[in-house]
């Protein structure tokens, strides 16, 4: 299930028996670790981390961030970034709620409106980054500000009305699994399949690994980037719909809840390199779950909210330090010129032209 790549070292046949831990496995190990420690700590206060209430809590917290982080993974894999997701969520929650306007018959219309608008914003982001060659940090920050101005001017507070049938999206549970989490998991599976099976998915790794080389190999880097941004914005749009479902109305103030930086943290926690080219959605899911479990445990233990921020900051840095060291050290420790073996990790593109495998020449 892992989509991260492992470098083939010299004498692959010898190392075959020793499976090295990919970063995705490491994330899930960390998740298990956090669950265990959390369960022990919660037990000392007399609670049960795996009781129904807490389990539902953890999963609900993960669904919203899960959608956003899923989208952010595509973009980061391509070596780009999206800081406008919080604003897209807010805008889409409002568009969804105002389109539905309390009428169950209008629910599909609302969903379609949201997806169209989100895709449009993603397209805008992608074009600004790919065609105008603006740095993605600035491009998406700028688009986010544009949306913020629109929201502040037109929507003075919550607006719109979500009918009960759609609110069920936010509140229904299957046993202990909230429906929203189930949908999020389905989206994650689709995302993984997309990355592993479709050509654009492969190309995202290539573009993130090295834009120049990908371009020289004949990949339409512009299109890949735009596609990644569109997917990211659409995922944020779905998150906006989820918010509308849970609130019963749309809300502009969501953009100040920090989902943009949280989603980047989740993606990086999941082992995806911020520079792009390596990583995957399975890892991101692990990152999201870790953050959700941490939040739940802190809540149960009634940790001071400010101490929570400190802990989160430390956890994020520590976790990334642990992965980053492994990945980069592995690269650095390999001799630069060792005649014959491929210098870089092969990207999962069996039919790509040979130059990609030779690495970058400077």
Binding mask 121-140 for another protein (x = CB under 8 A): -------x---xxxx-xxx-
The Cα 359–Cα 45 span in angstroms is: 54
Nearer to another protein, 29 or 314 (CB): 314
Q: Work out whether the CA dihedral 308, 309, 312, 318 comes out positive or negative.
A: negative
| Spatial CA neighbour of 194 closest among 282, 116, 85, 113 | 282
CB within 8 Å of 141: residues ≥ 6 apart: 83, 84
Site for another protein in 46-75 (CB under 8 A): 52-54, 56-57, 60-61, 64
Residue 34 binds to another protein (criterion: CB under 8 A): no
Residue 229 binds to another protein (criterion: CB under 8 A): no
- The alpha carbon torsion through 173, 176, 179, 182 (nearest 10 deg) reads -160
Given candidates 18, 105, 156, 340, which one binds another protein under the rule CB under 8 A? 156
In whole angstroms, the minimum distance from the beta carbon of 225 to another protein comes to 15
Burial 11-38 (b: 16+ CB within 10 A, else e): eeeeeeeeeeebbbbbbbebbeebbeeb
Give the SS3 label for residue 158.
coil
Residue 312 has phi, psi (to 5 degrees) of -60, -45
In whole angstroms, the minimum distance from the beta carbon of 11 to another protein comes to 26
DSSP state of 56: H
Residue 146 binds to another protein (criterion: CB under 8 A): yes
Nearer to another protein, 12 or 102 (CB): 102
In whole angstroms, the minimum distance from the beta carbon of 58 to another protein comes to 9
- How many residues touch another protein under the rule CB under 8 A: the total is 91
In whole angstroms, the minimum distance from the beta carbon of 75 to another protein comes to 13
Given candidates 10, 32, 36, 152, which one binds another protein under the rule CB under 8 A? 152
Site for another protein in 294-353 (CB under 8 A): 295, 299, 302, 304-314, 316-317, 320-321, 324-325, 328-329
Question: What's the token pair of residue 101?
Answer: 């306007």
Given candidates 22, 66, 144, 286, which one binds another protein under the rule CB under 8 A? 144
Binding mask 186-225 for another protein (x = CB under 8 A): ---x----------------------x---x---------
End-to-end Cα, the chain, rounded Å: 35
């Amino acid at each position: 299930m892992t989509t991260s790549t492992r470098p083939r070292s010299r004498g692959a046949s010898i190392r075959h028996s020793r499976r090295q831990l990919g970063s995705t496995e490491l994330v899930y190990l960390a998740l298990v670790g956090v669950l265990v420690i959390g369960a022990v700590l919660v037990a000392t206060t007399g609670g049960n981390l795996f009781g129904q209430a807490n389990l539902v809590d953890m999963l609900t917290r993960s669904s919203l961030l899960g959608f956003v982080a899923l989208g952010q993974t595509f973009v980061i894999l391509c070596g780009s970034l999206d800081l406008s997701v919080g604003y897209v969520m807010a805008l889409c929650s409002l568009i969804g709620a105002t389109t539905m306007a309390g009428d169950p018959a209008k629910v599909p219309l609302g969903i379609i409106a949201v997806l169209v608008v989100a895709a449009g914003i993603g397209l805008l982001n992608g074009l600004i980054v790919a065609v105008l060659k603006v740095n993605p940090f600035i491009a998406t920050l700028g688009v986010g500000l544009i949306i913020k101005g629109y929201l502040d001017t037109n929507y003075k507070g919550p607006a719109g009305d979500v009918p009960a049938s759609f609110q069920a999206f936010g509140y229904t549970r299957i046993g202990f699994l909230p429906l929203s989490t189930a949908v999020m998991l389905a989206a994650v599976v689709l995302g993984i399949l997309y990355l592993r099976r479709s050509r654009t998915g492969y190309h995202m790794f290539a573009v993130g690994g090295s834009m120049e080389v990908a371009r020289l190999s004949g990949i339409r880097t512009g299109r890949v980037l735009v596609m990644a941004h569109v997917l990211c914005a659409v995922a944020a749009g779905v998150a906006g719909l989820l918010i509308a479902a849970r609130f019963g109305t749309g809300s502009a103030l969501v953009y100040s809840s920090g989902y943009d930086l949280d989603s980047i943290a989740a993606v990086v926690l999941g082992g995806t390199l911020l520079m792009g080219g390596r990583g995957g959605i399975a890892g991101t899911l692990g990152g999201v779950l870790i953050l959700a479990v941490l939040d739940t445990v802190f809540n149960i233990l009634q940790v001071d909210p400010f101490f929570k921020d400190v802990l989160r900051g430390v956890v994020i840095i520590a976790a990334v330090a642990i992965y980053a060291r492994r990945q980069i050290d592995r690269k650095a420790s390999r001799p630069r010129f060792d005649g014959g073996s491929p210098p870089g990790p092969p990207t999962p593109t069996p039919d790509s032209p040979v130059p990609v495998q030779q690495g970058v020449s400077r």
